[in-house]
Structure 1
């Protein structure tokens, strides 16, 4: 799965002039392909992914049962975690062929991804995109002829929050190598910044990668967690791709996370309205503190709160998934998965004995050990306008860090807020989103944006920033004033 990472605002930024799509020639109907900016089958029927992620490489003994249950619950696709050998034991050609066979047996479109690339440049031991291409070429015999059934996701979240400036050129090279090797599959391209593209690197350079593909058969993938915690951010990001004629899908998302609370309702409604695919994270087996992202408990047939929301809720999988026509287009008549009560997390007793060691965390988000939360000031008396602010460090690297501030209204609704804090160690703010920040010496003042100032009683919003530091980076105490 993933590890969490940086937050960034998408709404309100000018559309980069670089997002220009070159018209593409008609392509032979080899298999799944892109036509008119959307994913379609070889016969031209649109295929909208409605599925989940499954951590096969760590839970190979669970795959056959899991895929059957994923299909029975209503999904039409599954994204499968594979390993190329840099961080985890390589899934060889025979295993890849078996995974594809299991997907086909359960009438699921199979998105295969290399997970070893996760967070390259920031995650120790992560594979490069070039190494991921080497892996795909090494197992090519299992993939040739499967273009109707398989999408090839080159590498999961191939850059962290450092070194992502070569994202476009590295992906151009990777795509060209795959095409030169004879791959005709739809190729999925993940965003940098642990998949969340808070730097807008993919958004502003996707056309460069697209135009470099001789087959014009690429599908860009954004992962939506804490960066996408408002409907405005979700809508803005996805609509920019649609407006530019660039194909996009949400390759991962959840209903909560340590880096912020993604707006899963907006993700589901926006993708449905735009006819875009989505793949929730993840079926089961999460570790490292993100067990709440499991959709079923311990690879069972019992939904967690998140799983029930994704499959059975508004704009969820059960209501919107359509089986690929290559399989006949028949929808399941019922799901075998049941709903577990009101508990929102798997019980701690539901231990998966085959869980990999903690170092092989199934979440693909950045480590959360650097998170620092300060105690917010006490709310004002009932009936008065008040707010609290919680400052945290959600990511840190030599010379830089990412901060996040959560603003929560008191017992009465507020129409605006101002947050202040004073750095003690000479830190500076270099970039921010979802607020207007000014500084005076060591004191930082953040005022709400036009769209996130009004909060109902007890309501909350978040803003973030990138900062610089030297020596030490003590988290200050933030105060909040309501309007």
Structure 2
């Protein structure tokens, strides 16, 4: 992943409007398909060999730079992912991943019941990034791995090259992409092939969108899927839904092969729409990235530790339209060729503890012939549901609730094949009034700054001996700063006064523990730090 360079940020929107005229050029015709031996494309959809839809829900993992972090595959699976996109190198820019190493990665993906998307990263930004390699060189690398890859068509998708064109003459992307696809087919590859967009994967000039049908028709097997990377270019719902729907309407297969949520100096991606639209259209998505980013705001897990998910990681795995709620395991891993029988409903939850900001629930175990792998707790409000948390056991502590508020909860069970049970009975509970006093420390940092705006980070530390369960942090900006976006909580601002209430995943702070908030804000000519913070009414020390 790399953010694009845009001298005029709204140029993309203007071009997108013009490119809307090109949508009728995306023909509905598809080439005749060769006999499939594994994952393939059928009527514009990614399906398994048995014809079942396969919707990727997973993450990217930087294997080539962190070859020792192989436990990561098991960790992302345990959090519910059904796919992992693995970063490899063909040796042009980084150390080449050997055939033995790639074979080991595939074996570990299979052992963890994951579909494995393998990609060459050396092509990133070709034409603008001087160190980048070509798609042709990447194709040669895959051909050199043919003995390792043959026979893995049920489990492996080949992503020829990551973001294989920069912003310099992106129209040059089409012919090399076609040539690389044909080279692999001529070499005998029957796998589904994935191709990334130009403009550092974001296609903000619409080259892939306009030429997708031509590229697709060049593949004699029809087993080709396009990958769009959505970062700061995609900062409005309209841009996201227009792009995804253009491919769906044309019956051209597409997934979001990378995306981010935290804002950067180019804009603030609309990850909520990305995930909601992908779920509505049943398109795959693969979040960037598990861990090890040079910009840690994009780490889903801190230091490769699955117990230390960042706010971004909690959003991806446990948030609305997230992996825990929407992922289904590939049926190739199910015994008997495909487990489609859901577990029984769990028992109705009971309440064991209530505070002003938390509730502890327990429920009876569900039954399933192949084993229950986890439970999803949801909040029920009228005829709608919203995900709260996922757990492997039959109890959960729900935090970050509002005082003196009535909530209704229910539970679903999941099995290894991704089948979801009927919903349990519901339980309604009202939190107590009042709040939790706090002994606290706050560290406030400006992490990035630009004319008229900045990005900040706030670390809240529990310096007391008791856990904090639910909190409200308050401060006053000393100048004209104003919050524009915040993650890790919900912010309100009146004049210079800011109040942030905890999110469900940041509400609990153990003694000696901490949580981190991030935000972007506007500013005037100066940007002084706030002088004081209070947490649940208690003054915090500045650290």
TM-score normalised over the length of structure 1: 0.69
How far the C-alpha of 1:164 sits from its partner, in A, is: 1.9
Query: Contact 2:33–2:221 at 8 Å: present in 1 too?
Result: no
1:189 to 156, 175, 195: 195
1:53 to 43, 46, 60: 60
Query: Contact 2:46–2:253 at 8 Å: present in 1 too?
Result: yes
Query: Which structure 2 residues correspond to residues 63-102 of structure 1 after superposition, within 5 A?
Result: 63=70, 65-102=71-108
1:44 to 43, 51, 56: 51
Structure 1 pair 15/274, CA: closer, same or farther in 2 (3 Å)? farther
Partner Cα distance (1:237, 1:309) in 2: 23
Matched residue of 2:35: which SS? coil
1:153 to 146, 154, 159: 159
1:31 to 25, 38, 42: 38
Query: Contact 2:33–2:220 at 8 Å: present in 1 too?
Result: no
Query: Contact 2:225–2:253 at 8 Å: present in 1 too?
Result: yes
Matched residue of 1:25: which SS? coil
Query: Which structure 2 residues correspond to residues 168-207 of structure 1 after superposition, within 5 A?
Result: 168-207=174-213
2:318 aligned with 1:312 = yes
Partner Cα distance (1:11, 1:198) in 2: 7
2:333 aligned with 1:327 = yes
1:282 to 280, 286, 289: 289
Structure 1 pair 15/243, CA: closer, same or farther in 2 (3 Å)? farther
Give the greater-gyration-radius structure (CA): 2
Partner Cα distance (2:314, 2:304) in 1: 14
Deviations 1:272-309 (CA, angstroms, capped at 9, x unpaired): 0001000000000001xx21000011011221100000
Query: Which structure 2 residues correspond to residues 114-133 of structure 1 after superposition, within 5 A?
Result: 114-133=120-139
Partner Cα distance (2:273, 2:43) in 1: 24
Q: How many residues align?
A: 361
Name 1:254's counterpart in structure 2: 260
Partner Cα distance (2:3, 2:481) in 1: 30
Name 2:358's counterpart in structure 1: none
Deviations 1:97-141 (CA, angstroms, capped at 9, x unpaired): 010000000000000000000001111210001111011111111
Name 2:115's counterpart in structure 1: 109
Partner Cα distance (2:124, 2:494) in 1: 39
Partner Cα distance (1:11, 1:303) in 2: 35
Query: Contact 1:69–1:336 at 8 Å: present in 2 too?
Result: no
Matched residue of 1:85: which SS? coil
Matched residue of 2:25: which SS? coil
Query: Which structure 2 residues correspond to residues 453-468 of structure 1 after superposition, within 5 A?
Result: none
Partner Cα distance (2:392, 2:3) in 1: 30
How far the C-alpha of 1:15 sits from its partner, in A, is: 3.5
Matched residue of 1:61: which SS? coil
Which 5+ residue runs of structure 1 have no aligned equivalent?
343-347, 349-370, 377-385, 391-408, 413-457, 462-483
TM-score normalised over the length of structure 2: 0.62
2:273 aligned with 1:294 = no
Name 2:450's counterpart in structure 1: 373
Name 1:272's counterpart in structure 2: 279
Query: Contact 2:33–2:222 at 8 Å: present in 1 too?
Result: no
Matched residue of 2:76: which SS? helix
Query: Contact 2:62–2:87 at 8 Å: present in 1 too?
Result: yes
Matched residue of 2:225: which SS? strand
Query: Contact 1:77–1:109 at 8 Å: present in 2 too?
Result: yes
How far the C-alpha of 1:29 sits from its partner, in A, is: 2.9
Partner Cα distance (1:256, 1:228) in 2: 12
How far the C-alpha of 1:22 sits from its partner, in A, is: 2.2
Matched residue of 1:206: which SS? helix
Structure 1 pair 53/117, CA: closer, same or farther in 2 (3 Å)? same
Query: Contact 1:21–1:211 at 8 Å: present in 2 too?
Result: no
Structure 1 pair 308/212, CA: closer, same or farther in 2 (3 Å)? same
How far the C-alpha of 1:332 sits from its partner, in A, is: 3.4
How far the C-alpha of 1:254 sits from its partner, in A, is: 1.0
Name 2:239's counterpart in structure 1: 233
Which 5+ residue runs of structure 2 have no aligned equivalent?
340-369, 376-390, 401-442, 454-479, 485-492, 497-518, 523-543
Deviations 1:379-416 (CA, angstroms, capped at 9, x unpaired): xxxxxxx999x9xxxxxxxxxxxxxxxxxx9969xxxx
Name 1:449's counterpart in structure 2: none
Query: Contact 2:62–2:292 at 8 Å: present in 1 too?
Result: yes
Partner Cα distance (2:105, 2:242) in 1: 36
Matched residue of 1:62: which SS? coil
Which structure would you say has the larger RCO, counting Cα contacts within 8 Å and 6 or more residues apart? Answer: 1
Matched residue of 1:268: which SS? helix
